[in-house]
Structure 1
C-alpha cells in the first residue's frame, strides 16, 4: 500500500485479532498504524480508529485515549449490549465482535477511507485554486449578477453564517454554493450536497443524520449521515422547500444545537458545519400556506442571495453562449464554432425558462448536430415547457403551438400586426424563437 494511503489507527488494549487487521485495512484502501492507549496520537489525522479491547472491555472504556473527530470502532470479544451501549455513549461509531463482524468493519473502513480521501482532495483543490477560485466559474458581467456575487464574496468569509440561495431552476445555485464554500475558511474541508427533492421522504432522515446498525431492515452496519460527513466543511441542502414537515423540525434542532442523533441511536454527536440551502420556490409563501415551518425559515434566512434569471442578464447571454460553445468544442474535439448574427438573434428571442442550464444544453445540441466550426440556427428548437407556456400566457403571450393551422396563422398575423411586421419582436411576444416562428409560417402556408 502506498504511503499516501489514509491511515487507520489501531489502539491496542488487547491484541486479539490484531494480526488480521493489516490485510483488512489494506483491502479497504488504507494502511494500519498501531499504538497503545498510553501512546501519543499519530502525526497524521487518521481516517478511522479501531480500539482493540479484546477481553478487557471495561478497562478499555475506562482508559480511552483522546480519539479526536475521526470515526472509531470498539472491538470486543463477545456480544454485550451493556458494553455496546456504553461504547456508543462514549462516541463509538459501532461496537463490533471479531471475527464475526469483519465484513461490517471492512465496509465501514472503506467508507471512512473514501471520506478521508475526499477531505484531502478538497484541501488540495483549495490550495491549488486559491480562495476565490470558485467564483471564476460564475460567468457574467451584468449588473444583476455582479451585485449578487459581490454580496456572496462578502459573506463567504464568515465561517458559520447560514445562507439561503434563491432563484429559478437552472440559474446556478449549486455553482454559487460551491463558490461560497471554496472562498470560505472551510475551503479545505468537505463540501457535501444533497437534493432534498431527489431522495424519498422515508430515506432522507437516514441520509442526513445517519443510522445505527439494526436501526431498520437492511441497516447491517452503522452509517454516518451527511452532517457527519460534512464535519468541518459545508453542507448544501438543495431544494430544501421539498423537505417533509416532520423532518424540518429535526433539521431545526440540529442547526440550533449543532448536534445530531443517528436513526436508532441513543446518543448525540457534535457537528461543525456551515449550512447553505437553496430553493426555487418562495419559502415565505410556503410558510403562509403551512407547507414550510416558519421557525426553520427564519433560521435559514440569515443571508438571502437570489440569482437573476438569464432573461434579465442582458449581454451575459452572448458571453455564456460563447463560453459554453468553446468549452463543449474542447470536450468533443471540435473546432471552436463561430456564431452568426442570425444565431445570436435567435438566442435573444427565447425566454429561457430553464435559464443557464437550458442554454448550455441548447448549445451542446446545436454543436454536435452542426457542421464542425459552425452553429446551425436551423437546429435550434427550444420547445416550451408547460409551466413556461402558462407563464407566457399570463404575460399576454400566446402559448404555442395551436392545433389548427388557420387559428395558428390568425394568431401569428395578429401578433405581427401588433409588432409592425417585426418577426423577431413577434417571436419574443409569442415565447418562441424567430427560426421557429418562420418554420410555423412555412408550415401553415403549405
Structure 2
C-alpha cells in the first residue's frame, strides 16, 4: 500500500510541533518553515494534502499566504491557527477560500488524525495536480480523440517537408495551434514563428506590413522598415484568414511563393527570403476560386499540403480535458473557492454542440471560473443546460429527484446547516452528502467546510 504523504508548512515557526508528528507518525511528511521551502517541495514532487500551521497572524504574512495558497490551488489544506486569529475577517476569509478544514490550538491529536485521513481521502479522489511548468512550453493540441490523433499524425508527416501548408477549419477550432505544431516539429523550429491575421489589417496597410517599405516610399516613411515576411527569415510565417487578402496582394504573395524573393514598397531591389508559408482559412478556398474571390494559381501554390482541423463537436471526448487544461492555465484568474467541474457541468459540455469551437469553450470556462459561487462549476455557471430529451420515465425520475432534494433540504434545516449532523440524519457519509449537494446544485453551507477542534468551541 502506498504510504500517505503531505506537506507540513509551519510559517512563523522554526520547527514542526510534536503534536503534528504524533498525528502523522505513519505518513511521509515533507517539512517547510518558509514559503520558499514549501515551493521547492511542491516543485520536486506531486503532493495533494498540506497542513498549514500558523504561529503569527500579521497582515504581511496573511497576504503572502494568500498568494501562495492561490498559486497551489489544487491542494487540499487543513489549517491550525490560534483562536484570536479567527476574530479577524481577513484571516477567516483566507481559511474560507483555501482550506477544507481547520483546528485551533492546542491541537487534539486524535481529532487531527481523523481530519487528515478524511482530507487525504477527498484529495485522492481528485485528478493529479498539474505538472510544474519548466521554461517555454511547446505548442500542443490537447486531447486524445480519434479526430485529434489523426490530425497529429498528419502534422507529423507534413512538418518535415518545406512546401506550403494550407489549414482549413471552422472559426475558433484551433488552426493557429495546428500551425504552431507544424512549425514546432519542423527543421525550422529554432527560427521565428510569425502569425499574421490577414483579416485584421486594413487593406491600405497590408502590403507595407507584409513586405516592408523603403525610406520615403510614402508620406511618413521616415526610415526603412522590414516587413513581417522578412522578420520570419529562417522560420515560418502563418497567414491566418488568407481568404480575406485583397486580390492585388494575392499576386504579390504568389510571386513570393514562386521566386522566394520580395520587393519592399518603394524599392526596385529584390530581397531573398527563406520562409515557409503556413496559411489558414475558415472559408472553403476552392469555392472562393469558383466565385472569383481568390486566385486559382495562388490556391494551388498554397494547397500543396492540406490539413483539416476538426470542429469541437467531432471530438467530444476531448471536452473535459480541454476544459481542465484551460482551468489550469488560467488558475490565477479563478475565484479562490472554485476547485473544478461538477459531473453535471461535464455532461452539459458533452451535450452542447459548441458552434464557437475551442474559443467558445475557453471563454465560457474563464467566465465560470470567476462567476461560480460553489466549489464546483455547474452548468449554469458555463451558461449551459443539460439539454437532454426527456425519457419515458421522466415523470418518475423527476419525482425521485424532487423527493431526494426535499429530504436533503429538510435534514440541513433540522441540523442547523451542519453537514456532519445532516449526514448522520440521512444515514449517509459526509462525502456522500457532499456529492448529493453537488448533484442537486445545492450550495454547501459555509460552516460545513470546517470542523473545529473541541478547544475551538
TM-score, with normalisation over the residues of structure 2? 0.54
What is the deviation of 1:270? 0.4
What is the deviation of 1:134? 3.2
Of 134, 138, 151, 2:154 maps to 151
**Structure 1 residues 231-253: Cα deviation after superposition (integer angstroms, max 9, x where no partner):** 11111101001000111011000
Classify the secondary structure of the residue corresponding to 1:248. Answer: helix
CA distance in 2, matches of 1:240, 1:225: 17
| Partner in structure 2 of residue 138 of structure 1 | 141
Highest RCO, 1 vs 2 (Cα 8 Å, sep ≥ 6): 2
Classify the secondary structure of the residue corresponding to 1:315. Answer: helix
CA distance in 2, matches of 1:334, 1:256: 55
Cα distance change of structure 1 residues 211 and 422 upon mapping to structure 2, 3 Å threshold: farther
What is the deviation of 1:332? 4.1
| Partner in structure 2 of residue 266 of structure 1 | 268
CA distance in 2, matches of 1:262, 1:278: 24
**Structure 1 residues 329-381: Cα deviation after superposition (integer angstroms, max 9, x where no partner):** 24547466232222112112221011011101101101110136321322232
Q: 1:195, 1:237 within 8 Å by CA — same for their partners in 2?
A: yes
Query: What is the number of residues matched between the two proteins?
Result: 261
Structure 2: which 5+ runs fail to align? 1-133, 396-457
Cα distance change of structure 1 residues 379 and 253 upon mapping to structure 2, 3 Å threshold: same
**Structure 1 residues 249-272: Cα deviation after superposition (integer angstroms, max 9, x where no partner):** 110001100010001101110000
| Partner in structure 2 of residue 338 of structure 1 | 340
**Structure 1 residues 37-91: Cα deviation after superposition (integer angstroms, max 9, x where no partner):** xxxxxxxxxxxxxxxxxxxxxxxxxxxxxxxxxxxxxxxxxxxxxxxxxxxxxxx
Q: 1:156, 1:183 within 8 Å by CA — same for their partners in 2?
A: yes
Cα distance change of structure 1 residues 142 and 266 upon mapping to structure 2, 3 Å threshold: same
**Quick check: 1:165 aligned with 2:173?**
no
Cα distance change of structure 1 residues 364 and 290 upon mapping to structure 2, 3 Å threshold: same
TM-score, with normalisation over the residues of structure 1? 0.55
Classify the secondary structure of the residue corresponding to 1:171. Answer: coil
**Structure 1 residues 267-291: Cα deviation after superposition (integer angstroms, max 9, x where no partner):** 1100000000011110000000000
RMSD over aligned Cα, in angstroms?
Answer: 2.5
Classify the secondary structure of the residue corresponding to 1:153. Answer: helix
CA distance in 2, matches of 1:352, 1:332: 22
Classify the secondary structure of the residue corresponding to 1:253. Answer: helix
CA distance in 2, matches of 1:268, 1:349: 55
Aligned ranges 1:51-130 → 2 under 5 Å: none
Cα distance change of structure 1 residues 380 and 258 upon mapping to structure 2, 3 Å threshold: same
| Partner in structure 1 of residue 257 of structure 2 | 255
Q: Which moved more, 1:293-302 or 1:209-218?
A: 209-218
CA distance in 2, matches of 1:226, 1:380: 38
